[in-house]
Chains A and B, each alone.
Chain A
Amino acid sequence: MAGPNLTEQRPHDEAEELLPWYANGQLDAADRARVEAQLSSCAHCRQQLAMERRLIEEFQAIAPEVESGWARLRARVEAPRRIRVDKSPAPRPFAELRALLSRPAVATLATAQVAFVVLAGGALLSLSKPVYHTLGSAPAPASANLIVMFRSDATEEDVRDVLRASDASIVGGPTAANAYLLHVAPTERQSALVKLQSDGNVQLAQPIDGVAP
């Protein structure tokens, strides 16, 4: 039902309708001019605008969690790849390792992704841990307690030297981000970490906490 002054009511209604998008900065110039003309002459609209801004603030205050969701989806994306790798008849770990290390993507990882590697390593570890525990006949099942990324130009020999120098062995990986999960004796972890982090062939080395054997 129209109010008493039709000529004033219509621009008022149109402007009021646009207020949420004026407040979030998404109006084009024509719409914005229409709203601003109305705001300059209407206290009610100014009050409504204050409310819109408060609503935006409230709606923005809650940030959803990201990590668990990504781990879940990544497992789903990678599932078909893992099956393919498992079916290959005669795996040659070091040839594969070298091929993986030669990928230029390793060198260009963003810091944010490096942080992810640590988390992804943890996720992968938790997936693979039961497998290690079932290898009853194998010598001393080893859980990963370090995660490492080698430089893209590191050779197989470099990698071997790095691992020997820090008494580390590869127990998992490559992850999607081309990181490897390592095991070192828990008592030697700190010194191994220092060695790894100071090695020119290592791009990143981090401890993985709470998963030592």
Chain B
Amino acid sequence: MLKRPRADTARSPAPDDRELLARIASGDLQAFERLYRLYQPRLTRFLTTLLKRPQLIEEVLDDTMMVVWQTSGNFRGSSKPSTWIFAIAYRKAYKAKARWPDPVEDPEFDTRISRDPGPDEELHHQRQRTALMKAMDQLSPDHRAVVDLTYFHGMGYREIADIVDCPVDTVKTRMFHARRRLKQAMSGSLVDWL
């Protein structure tokens, strides 16, 4: 099982996401804050994978969480809360993309990676990470979404299919294709990892 992002580590007994959604439905701002803190890092990461404009990431994140705040009473529990929330984010991201297509060149790309010189080993690792991010950048948003939901968010292919609203075989095919592209793009540096 994957470790979840650090923000999940609340220090008191944590109410589960379903309970939080129920409390949010009755206007409980503290429950909403808690849910936000659980999901913000994961959603930011997911949206960063899908969208290349930082301002758009913030806007879509907030819009997503506002939908959660306003419509959590509609959550019926047929899926996991995370599936419901990520699916909202995915739809919002696609609507935003339609309004603001990705820039042709990504001016932020280089700044996302620290260029501080470090010890050799660290520098080497940094290069590998750069290669990985460049390879990700060359994938389509659909492929990036599946890769990120798998590797970062630790989700299974069925949950991913629910989020991106496509058949499970499509998820598997996208992942297979994406992995091949990642490997090709990183060829040399990837061999060094193993």
Question: Chain A at the B interface: mostly helix, strand, loop or mixed?
Answer: helix
Chain A residue nearest to B113 (CB atoms) is A62
How distant is the Cα of A27 from the Cα of B156 in the complex, in angstroms? 7
- Rounded to whole Å, the gap between the CB of B97 and the closest CB of chain A is 19
Question: Chain B at the A interface: mostly helix, strand, loop or mixed?
Answer: helix
How distant is the Cα of A61 from the Cα of B41 in the complex, in angstroms? 12
Q: Which residues of B contact A (CB under 8 A)?
A: 1-3, 5-7, 10-12, 29-30, 32-34, 36-37, 40-41, 44-45, 48, 58, 61-62, 65-66, 69, 128-129, 132, 147-148, 150-152, 154-157, 159, 172, 175-176, 179, 182-183, 190, 193-194
With contact pairs A17-B176, A26-B155 given, residues A64 and B62 touching in the complex (Cβ less than 8 Å): no
How distant is the Cα of A51 from the Cα of B183 in the complex, in angstroms? 9
B10 and A112 contacting across the interface, CB-CB below 8 Å: yes
B152 and A59 contacting across the interface, CB-CB below 8 Å: yes
With A26-B155, A113-B33 already in contact, 16 other A-B pairs whose C-beta atoms are closer than 8 Å: A16-B176, A17-B175, A20-B151, A54-B193, A55-B182, A58-B132, A59-B151, A60-B2, A60-B5, A62-B45, A64-B48, A65-B44, A69-B62, A72-B62, A109-B30, A116-B33
B157 and A69 contacting across the interface, CB-CB below 8 Å: no
B37 and A112 contacting across the interface, CB-CB below 8 Å: yes
- Which of A73-81, A88-96, A135-143, A180-188 faces chain B? A73-81
Q: Which residues of A contact B (CB under 8 A)?
A: 16-18, 20-21, 24-27, 47, 50-51, 54-56, 58-66, 69-70, 72-74, 76-78, 105, 109-113, 116, 176-177
- Rounded to whole Å, the gap between the CB of A1 and the closest CB of chain B is 15
